[in-house]
Structure 1
Amino acid sequence: MTSEAHPIFRTAAVHFCLLCCDLVIWACVWTALLWLDGEGSLDLWCLWALRAISCVVLYSLSTIFADSSIQPLLKRWVALLSFLPPVFDSMQTMLHGTVRGFTPVPDPGMVILSLATSTLIYMVWEMAFPHGGSSKGTRNQKKDEEAKALLMRVIRYSRPDYLHLGAAFLFLSLAALFETFIPYCIGKVIDILSGKYQHTNFSWAIGLMALCSLGSSMFGGMRGGMFMCSLSRLNKRIRHMLFQNLMKQEISFFEENKSGSLTSRLISDTDKMGRSVAMNVNVLLRSLVKTCGMLFFMLRLSWQLTLLTCIEMPLLAFIQNSYNNISQTIAKELQDCNAETTELASSVIGSMKTVRSFKAEHQEQQRYEQTLNRKLQILRRKGIYSAIHLLIRRFITVGLKVAMLFQGRNLISSGQLSSGSLLAFVFYQKDMVTNMKHLVYIYGDMLNTVGSAVKVFQLLDRKPQMREAGDLAPEKVEGRLTFEKVTFSYHSRPNEKALKSVTLELSPGKLTALVGPSGGGKTSCVCLLQRFYEPQEGEVLLDEEPLHHYQHQYLHKKVAMVSQDPVLFSGSVRYNIEYGLKDCPLERVKEAALKANAHNFICKLEQGYDTDVGECGGQLSAGQKQCIAIARALIRNPQILILDEATSHMDCSTQQAVQDVLNNITDQTVLVIAHRLETVEKADHIIFMEGGEVVEQGTHQQLMAKEGRYYRLREKLFNLETQPAD
């Protein structure tokens, strides 16, 4: 006997001992009642008290004798075993007004039926939906718990729509109630037609059935409309929250994550998450309400037939679970076989010269035929298992239906059931099985769907990997920028230092040029000045205060940048110039365009400042886009202006006009990255960077006189014979 078999036998032994203890409790109660009054009868409240005591006794015994690993299993079984009789009797009392079934208590036959029924339902359910045990079960349980937490989070997001959801649930309940009455009305119609015809009763039954159909349709439509309204509001809320959180992330986050992937999460995944949860909740609640209503009518019609119906679902669930496990194994084998077949065919067809030269055609045909035969065997096994599965399912379904019909005939013969009631029960039984399947499978589908959207929640929960901006916002800044021993590396290349202990200063009222070969660290300095990133060591200071001490909006109001390839947004020219500003007058827009030498060509456009620039500014030339970008920076009247090759695509006259504007600046801090010698020569201060370090700095004359790196690389750094750009 294997070690794995021991826990199984121990578990079975504990269950058997507890079952015997419960039988002993029943026998003791029976004996005591017979000795007290000679009848052995027990009212409903005493029955509930007895079974509660029995539950406590059995659970205490299971705690003493059973391992902790099977405690959850025994707890569920003991609860089912103890409370099935009083629940059944209570329902019978509510339906018929008299206590039936297990009373007078205890009837030995009904006790044995109760024990057998509860044990059967428990065993089949546990085999169909196993809990714990193996490491795989533990992993699945943990996964289910995480999915449940995500599901509850989505539901919490729907809290603001409680009025819509409340109305939807009300309409859902009414629609399910009316729909549940329809088979009952059909049964009444059949009873009227099978007996002596009475026009009044027939008209009343037909009218009631029509009213139920109308109510079901009307409230069903209203229910769907309210759920769709709630779904739309939920999608809007989640998308807004996700977009808002994405806007707070650092720039390196957008460099590491593709924009297409983020857009998909923002649009597709949020819609899928909200839609699947809303739709499944709709179906789940509808199935739950209908199941409760149908169970009420079925018990009212016949508790014996209802018991047969309730046995069917656990049996089918166990069979379906077993078939799913076999199907997964076969599907993996079939996938491996398909991959082998494809690889073999691809390799042979791609190497036909070698196959032909060695006369190996027959050998390759045999190999390919062998793989096809293996695939055929797998498909044959799959077909056999499928046929057996369908056969067993049909056998159980048909067998229980036949048993139900036989029992129905006996009930009709004894006068406990009418023909119309039996027909109504058949309708209820069919819908009952369908709704129970929905209750079992839709909840799992909800968990899987919410779990697939876990990336959305990860993005919602993500915190920016930067220090939070401060609240410093002085009325005026001088504009003195200082790098103090700044060391920086990008997140994508943590081992490569883009800046190595850089120390430099940008003075107010002066034009500073940042030059050097590609990869020297110029762009990294610009990114740090805009606080796109934060240095690993050192500080970037503005007026002796670290940049992260300033308010985010305030800092980017005082610092403006124009890049070599500026980004324009789809919209008018005016919209792009005043981008980010509120209530900006047209006169101010035109003034900035004049400074950037953009006013003339804007006026020549078809609609002037209202002309649409197209997607990413595609309707404009590269030079025109740069002019608009410079106007967009100048309109803010920034204290610090950064130009990164901002005039590289302009013609000579436009470049000169922009240069004149820069020369007239007296109180602003201007940083220029340029490859034009003319621009650099007029700078008040030149900083030469190479390999992430400041190598030289000074004026053009000082650096030329030093004859250092700036002097030796002058011809490579600058386009000394620049041609006008188109």
Structure 2
Amino acid sequence: MRKNNPKGRGNATQNSCTSIGTRVFATGIRCVEDHTMMQVVQEERRPLRTLIRLLSLSRPDVVPICGAFLFLVAAVISEMHMPSFTGQIIDALNSKFDSNTFASAIFFMGLTSFGGSFSAGCRGGLFMLTISRLTKRVRQCLFSSFVKQDIAFFETTSKGDITTCLSSDASLMSRSLAANVNILLRSLVMTVGIYCFMIQLCWPLALLSALESPITITAEKIYNKYYQGLVSSVKKSIVKSNQVAGESIYHIRAVRSHGAEKVEQKMYNGRLEETHHFKIHRDSVRATYLLFMRLFQLGMRVLILWYGHRMIKSGQMTPGNLVSFILYQMEIGGYVQTLVELHIDLIESLESAEKVFEYMDHKLSVLCGDLAPDQLKGHVTFNNISFSYSTCPDQKALKNVSFEMKPGSVTALVGVSGGGKSTCVALLKHLYEPQSGEILLDGRPLKDYDHKYFHQKVAVVSQEPELFSCSIHNNITYGLDRYSEDVLQTAVKQAHVNSFVHSLKDGYDTEVGERGGLLSGGQKQRIAIARALIRQPQILILDEVTSSLDTESEKMIQNALACFKTQTRLIVAHRLKTIESADQIIVIDKGSVSEKGTHMELMKKKGIYYKLRESRFNEDDPETTC
């Protein structure tokens, strides 16, 4: 009997495994190649999808766009006949003068010129109207998208990017559809039509002239690839300089307080120098390219003139036909150049459009529902909340925070700076969504409530009130669709706004200036309290309201806040009197709740709260803050 060969079986198995491994590896390679190919195809289709989306935005302008196209065709047809009539006039002025031909050519030339000018004017006006309307519509949609974004979006997106997108990118993307399509169609129709006329006049010269286009297109492609990088560098540099200028103006008080005017000027000058350097490089490259192209076009015209002169001598052409041909040849060079250069503007416009659409399509992380009950108790529960900011995702700002705020009660948050107090306030204002846990309002998550309803029932008075550059009246009623005059008068009276408004010349119509810069700190606080009172909220958040006010202003603010007796109140304050009277005090330390209780209970524990009070409240000034 023949014995089995284990070694042979092992070799066969090994060969089989090697074959299977090879096939798996090859399959993996093909999958990677297919995935890469799909990504390439998707990248190639992106401009087409962007263009289609732009077309959908232009639906309201279908009528003016169609009218502009009709006038465009009429203008193009008129312009194409002008060189032909010019040639006929020259031939009519020959030694054998033909008055009928001359008069006919003059009449049709004048009629065509008038019709072409009228059509061109109407075409330009309708396209400009379309651009203006589309730009306005895009900016409205974009701004609407910006104001609805989460706070985290503005923490990761620079103000320079936002303002640049609203101003230049929105305008560029509108041009891509109206102006660029206008120029594209006009140049394309003129190019095809002029070549037809040139072939009819003299096909050998038309063939010679056609050699100019491939050379022009090849040179333009090489130039475009390099020039696009320079354009991108200029745009990035402009965004950086806008960002520096915006930050300096926004923080002008800090700049002046620290005497850093020269520092900011030096920084801004540096950004401008960088932008200037990029622009000089970009413009130098463009000037060199244009010089080369014009010299090349001049050489082609000289060659055509020389060849046309020989054909006139041989009787194959008339002088008028040569003049018409040269006029056509001079025009077609510009139109071919425009078609090639339009590629740059179209790409730049589509890039701007993609950026705009990216902002428009940005998904919200803080969602809202449609819950709007007639009665709201104001029972708030923080249930195992953990949260990290998008700028520092690995660092926990809150860790399993849990506490309860009962209707009509006063809760105080205390702790060292950076402990997590402001984060709790931001989450209760529903500016962010926690990564784990949930905040309940009357037993329902905050995300279930209607956005408008929620922010009418939850009012905030902060240390730095956010006032807008409008009148005192508009600041108090800001965000309200309707209100009664009685409620308004009650609110301003309880907030002691009348005490300083009556001394102003324009009263409640007085402009407060940018961010309320024309008012004092106490006046701004009273306006903010009146804004909260007029909403008749059920939950009131007081975020260090009196920490930077004088004694008189603080007394008025405290009297105004005394009007909130039935509301659930959350106080973030460092004043001893405010904290002592709270129903419960919650000590936030390193993102966690370390202590909880009344003032007396926490003092007896002699924990973190006791140490904070001893170290910061028992100083020479009893009103010292912590």
- Do the two structures share a fold, i.e. TM-score over 0.5? yes
Query: 1:541 Cα deviation (Å)?
Result: 0.4
Residue type of the alignment partner of 1:567: E
Report if the CA contact (8 A) 1:574-1:589 is conserved: no
1:278-317 equivalences under 5 Å are 278-317=178-217
Query: Aligned pairs, how many?
Result: 532
> Are the structure 2 counterparts of residues 719 and 229 from structure 1 closer, same or farther at C-alpha, using a change threshold of 3 Å?
farther
Cα deviation, 1:463-507, whole Å, max 9, x if unaligned, reads: 1123x3112111111100001111111111112211111110001
Structure 1 residue identity aligned to 2:372: A
- The residue type equivalent to 1:568 in the other structure is L
- Report the Cα distance in structure 2 between the residues aligned to 1:540 and 1:595, rounded to whole angstroms: 31
Bigger shift: residues 306-315 or 695-704: 306-315
Gap change, CA 1:144 and 1:449, over 3 Å in 2: farther
Does 1:639 pair with 2:538? Answer: yes
1:703-723 per-residue CA deviation (whole Å, 9 max, x = no partner) reads 222322212210445486356
Query: How much has 1:143 moved relative to structure 2?
Result: 5.9
Aligned to 1:628: 527
- Return the match for 1:209 from 103, 109, 122: 109
Structure 2-normalised TM-score? 0.78
**Structure 1 residue 442: Cα displacement:** 1.2
Preserved CA contact (<8 Å) 2:371 2:449: yes
User: Which blocks of at least 5 consecutive residues in structure 1 are unaligned?
Assistant: 1-136, 330-382
Rounded to whole Å, the distance in 1 between the matches of 2:222 and 2:563 is: 83
User: 2 CA distance for matches of 1:143 and 1:696?
Assistant: 55
* Contact preservation (8 Å) 2:379, 2:442: yes
Q: What code does the residue aligned with 1:398 have?
A: V
Q: 1:146 aligned to 2:50?
A: no
Residue 440 in 1 paired to residue 340 in 2? yes
In the alignment, the residues of structure 2 paired with residue 267 and residue 167 of structure 1 have an alpha-carbon distance, to the nearest angstrom, of: 28
| Structure 2 counterpart SS, 1:687 | strand
Match for residue 360 of structure 2 among 442, 460, 469: 460
Q: d(CA) in 2 for partners of 1:554 and 1:303?
A: 76
- Which one is further off, 627-636 or 137-146? 137-146
Per-residue deviation, 1:660 = 3.9
- Kept after mapping to 2: 8 A contact 1:511/1:685: yes
1:480 maps to 379
Secondary structure at the residue paired with 2:174?
Answer: helix
| Residues 194-343 of structure 1: pairs in structure 2 closer than 5 A | 194=94, 196-275=96-175, 277-318=177-218
SS in structure 2 at match of 1:464: coil
* 2:512–2:519 CA contact under 8 A, matched in 1: yes
Q: Which residue of 2 aligns with 1:34?
A: none
Aligned pair in 2 of structure 1 residues 408, 238: CA closer, same or farther (>3 Å)? farther
Could you state the TM-score of these two structures normalised by the residue count of structure 1?
0.68
Partners of 1:147 and 1:448 within 8 A in 2: no
Deviation at 1:292, TM superposition (A): 3.0
Distance in 2 of aligned mates of 1:237 and 1:402:
54
| Structure 1 residue identity aligned to 2:449 | Y
1:704 to 603, 607, 610: 603
Residue 401 of structure 1, CA deviation: 4.5
The equivalent residue for 2:455 is 556
8 Å contact kept, 1:650–1:724: no
For residues 328 and 583 of structure 1, what CA distance do their matches in structure 2 show? Answer: 52
One-letter amino acid of the counterpart of residue 552, structure 1: H
Q: What corresponds to 2:573 in structure 1?
A: 674
| Structure 2 counterpart of 1:503, from 386, 402, 407 | 402
Alignment of 1:410-429 (within 5 A): 410=314, 413=315, 417-429=317-329
Asked if the contact 2:465–2:524 (Cα under 8 Å) also holds between the matched residues in 1, the reply is: yes
The whole-number CA distance in structure 1 between the counterparts of 2:597 and 2:227 is 77
Q: Aligned partners of 1:614, 1:434: CA distance in 2, in Å? A: 53
Could you say if the C-alpha distance between residues 574 and 312 of structure 1 is closer, same or farther in structure 2, counting changes exceeding 3 Å?
Answer: same
The 1:718/1:207 distance shift into structure 2, 3 A limit, reads: farther
Query: What corresponds to 1:380 in structure 2?
Result: none
CA distance in 2 between partners of 1:498 and 1:699 (Å): 25
Q: Pick the aligned partner of 1:656 from 536, 555, 571.
A: 555
Q: Offset at 1:654?
A: 4.0
* Compared CA separation, residues 319 and 409, structure 1 to 2 (3 A): farther
Q: Which moved more, 1:658-667 or 1:250-259?
A: 658-667
Aligned partners of 2:220 and 2:341 also within 8 Å:
no
* Amino acid across the alignment from 1:571: C
1:353-406 Cα offsets, whole Å, 9 max, x none, are xxxxxxxxxxxxxxxxxxxxxxxxxxxxxx999999887765555334433443
Matched residue SS, 2:93: helix
Aligned counterparts of 1:387 and 1:630: Cα–Cα separation in 2: 67
Q: How far apart are the structure 2 equivalents of 1:320 and 1:198?
A: 46
CA contact (8 A) 2:71 2:122 kept: yes
Q: Per-residue deviation at 1:145?
A: 4.5
Which of the two has higher C-alpha Rg? 1
Between the aligned partners of 1:574 and 1:259, the Cα distance in structure 2 is 29
Match of 2:434 among 535, 540, 551: 535
Q: Quick one: distance in 1 between partners of 2:330 and 2:40?
A: 32
Distance 1:719 1:275, change over 3 A: farther
Alpha-carbon offset, residue 407 of structure 1: 4.0
1:492 and 2:396 equivalent?
no
User: Is the 2:471–2:508 contact (alpha carbons within 8 Å) kept by the matching residues of 1?
Assistant: yes
| 1:376 corresponding residue in structure 2 | none
Match of 1:406 among 303, 310, 322: 310
Contact 2:297 2:333 in 1 (8 A): no
Distance 1:391 1:422, change over 3 A: closer
Q: Is 469-478 or 400-409 further displaced after alignment?
A: 400-409
Question: Any residues of structure 2 matched to 1:84-103 within 5 Å, and which?
Answer: none
Gaps of 5+ in 2: 1-36, 230-286
Q: What's the offset of the Cα at 1:526?
A: 0.6
Larger relative contact order, structure 1 or 2 (CA cutoff 8 Å, min sep 6): 2
- Change in Cα spacing, 1:399 to 1:202, as seen in structure 2 (3 Å) is closer
Q: 1:163 to 1:719 in 2, by over 3 A?
A: farther
Is 1:277–1:450's contact at 8 Å kept on the other side of the alignment? no
Instruction: Find the aligned partners of 1:564 and 1:558 in 2 and give their Cα distance.
Output: 20
Deviation (angstroms), 1:277:
4.8
Deviation of residue 317 (structure 1)?
3.2
Q: Secondary structure at the match of 1:208?
A: helix
Q: Write out per-residue CA displacement over residues 428-447 of structure 1, whole angstroms, 9 at most, x where no aligned residue.
A: 12212221222233134312
**Would you say the 8 A contact 1:151–1:447 is kept in 2?**
no
Change (3 A) 1:384 1:264: closer
SS at match of 2:496: coil
- Structure 2 distance, partners of 1:479, 1:203, is 91
Instruction: Within 5 Å, give how 1:555-594 maps onto structure 2.
Output: 555-594=454-493
Residues 157, 693 of structure 1: alpha-carbon distance in 2 compared, 3 angstrom cutoff: same
User: What's the CA shift string for 1:169-207, capped at 9, x where partnerless?
Assistant: 111111111111111111221122115334443223212
2:146 and 2:395 map into 1 onto residues whose CA distance is 27
Is the Cα–Cα contact under 8 Å of residues 575 and 623 in structure 2 kept in the other structure?
no
C-alpha change, 1:387 and 1:695, in structure 2 (3 Å) is closer
Larger CA deviation: 139-148 vs 310-319: 139-148
Shift of 1:322: 6.5
Superposed CA RMSD: 3.2
- CA 1:246–1:283: 2 relative to 1, 3 Å: same
Cα shift at 1:566: 1.1
Q: What CA deviation, in whole Å up to 9, does each residue of 1:393-427 have, x standing for no partner? A: 655553344334434554xx25xx54323321221
Please state how far the C-alpha of 1:514 moved relative to its aligned partner: 1.2
Distance in 2 separating the partners of 1:393 and 1:420? 22
Q: Is the 8 A contact 1:280 1:443 kept in 2?
A: no
Deviations 1:590-624 (A, max 9, x none): 32121112221111112110000011101001111
AA at the equivalent of 1:422: L
Q: Is the 8 A contact 1:597 1:654 kept in 2?
A: no
Q: Does 1:596 align with 2:500?
A: no
TM-superposed CA distance for 1:585, in Å, is 4.3
> What does 1:48-197 align with in structure 2 at a 5 Å threshold?
145-194=45-94, 196-197=96-97
Change (3 A) 1:287 1:717: same
SS of the residue 2:214 aligns to: helix
